């Protein structure tokens, strides 16, 4: 497992309480190579294994992100940002038309989908290994692709995830100067059964809704095969590059 990484690796998962985040924690815990697994979430989650070190984080608050990064004692081989926001189950819903664009909805989406991950990059990318392969992977979405946008709608989410892609690309250029073997990438997990996708599940073609465990197994394969030369790009669960 993870043949492209050294024997013992340290991992951080931000958004460990979510469907995809918790599947990453579970999958990495089962890997012998994983030495320390730092998990960060808004709510406390149970330490299911001695290699898991849990800490709270609110990605809408930079001090909270800085404090979380300070508790990491080792250099990190893999950082996964699995936080995200699409709807609140109540009033904040993705827009179907221009008239549904709302300042608060847009601010919330940018806070969680762009600004939070950028601040995580600020505090966590410096913790990557410098002398061997390392990966910073933020979960973006296929709908962030400007060239692939056929359907319209979901203004806040699309815009905020596109801005996340620009952060990834820009950070990858800066990181390449110091972290020559690092890949800073975005990942599209497919359509995955989670709280975030719940209201839209009925529109998904039969057999196309992934379990979090399946999606994460595929995403870990992508993290494993990715090379530093591919830094700054967005990849789908099957390893295909998604053009911005």
Ligand X SMILES: NC(=O)c1ccc[n+]([C@@H]2O[C@H](COP(=O)([O-])OP(=O)(O)OC[C@H]3O[C@@H](n4cnc5c(N)ncnc54)[C@H](OP(=O)(O)O)[C@@H]3O)[C@@H](O)[C@H]2O)c1
> In angstroms, what is the minimal distance from the CB of 205 to ligand X?
13
If one asks whether residue 123 binds ligand X (CB under 6 A), the answer comes out as no
Q: Are 234 and 188 in contact (CB under 8 A)?
A: yes
Give the nearer residue to ligand X in terms of CB position, either 145 or 172. Answer: 145
Give the nearer residue to ligand X in terms of CB position, either 10 or 194. Answer: 194
Strands, DSSP E only, in the chain? 9-14, 34-41, 52-56, 78-81, 134-139, 182-188, 191-192, 209-210, 234-236
> In angstroms, what is the minimal distance from the CB of 85 to ligand X?
5
Question: Which string of x and - marks every residue 76-95 that binds ligand X (by CB under 6 A)?
Answer: ------xxxx----------
**Euclidean distance between CA atoms 98 and 51, whole angstroms:** 48
Give the nearer residue to ligand X in terms of CB position, either 194 or 233. Answer: 194
> Tokens at residue 240, please?
């295909």
Helix, strand, or coil (residue 118): helix
Give the nearer residue to ligand X in terms of CB position, either 194 or 231. Answer: 194
Q: Are 243 and 186 in contact (CB under 8 A)?
A: no
Determine the size of the site formed for ligand X (CB under 6 A): 28
Q: Are 165 and 117 in contact (CB under 8 A)?
A: no
Give the nearer residue to ligand X in terms of CB position, either 141 or 220. Answer: 141
> In angstroms, what is the minimal distance from the CB of 13 to ligand X?
10
160, with CB counted inside 10 A (0-12, 13-18, 19+), is buried
Please report, as residue ranges, which positions from 160 to 219 form the binding site for ligand X (by CB under 6 A).
188-189, 191-192, 194-197
Please report, as residue ranges, which positions from 98 to 117 form the binding site for ligand X (by CB under 6 A).
112
**Euclidean distance between CA atoms 26 and 49, whole angstroms:** 10
> In angstroms, what is the minimal distance from the CB of 111 to ligand X?
7
Residues at the interface with ligand X (CB under 6 A): 15, 17-21, 41-43, 57-60, 82-85, 112, 139, 141, 188-189, 191-192, 194-197
């Amino acid at each position: 497992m993870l043949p492209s990484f050294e024997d013992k690796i340290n991992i951080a998962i931000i958004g460990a309480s979510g469907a995809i985040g918790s599947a990453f924690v579970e999958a990495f815990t089962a890997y012998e190579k994983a030495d320390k697994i730092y998990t960060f979430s808004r709510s406390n989650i149970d330490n299911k294994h001695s290699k898991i070190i849990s800490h709270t984080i609110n990605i809408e608050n930079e001090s909270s992100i800085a404090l979380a990064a300070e508790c990491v004692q080792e250099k990190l081989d893999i950082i996964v940002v699995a936080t995200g926001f699409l709807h609140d189950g109540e009033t904040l819903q993705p827009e179907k038309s221009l008239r549904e664009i709302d300042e608060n909805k847009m601010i919330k989406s940018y806070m969680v989908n762009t600004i939070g991950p950028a601040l995580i990059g600020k505090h966590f990318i410096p913790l990557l290994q410098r002398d061997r392969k390392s990966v910073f992977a933020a979960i973006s979405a296929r709908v962030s692709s400007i060239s692939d946008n056929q359907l319209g709608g979901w203004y806040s989410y699309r815009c905020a995830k596109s801005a996340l892609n620009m952060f990834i690309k820009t950070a990858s250029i800066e990181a390449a100067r110091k972290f020559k073997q690092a890949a800073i990438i975005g990942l599209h997990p497919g359509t995955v059964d989670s709280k975030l996708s719940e209201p839209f599940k009925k529109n998904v073609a039969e057999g196309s809704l992934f379990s979090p465990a399946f999606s994460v197994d595929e995403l870990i394969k992508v993290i494993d095969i990715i090379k530093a030369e591919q830094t700054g790009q967005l990849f789908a669960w099957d390893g295909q590059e998604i053009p911005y």
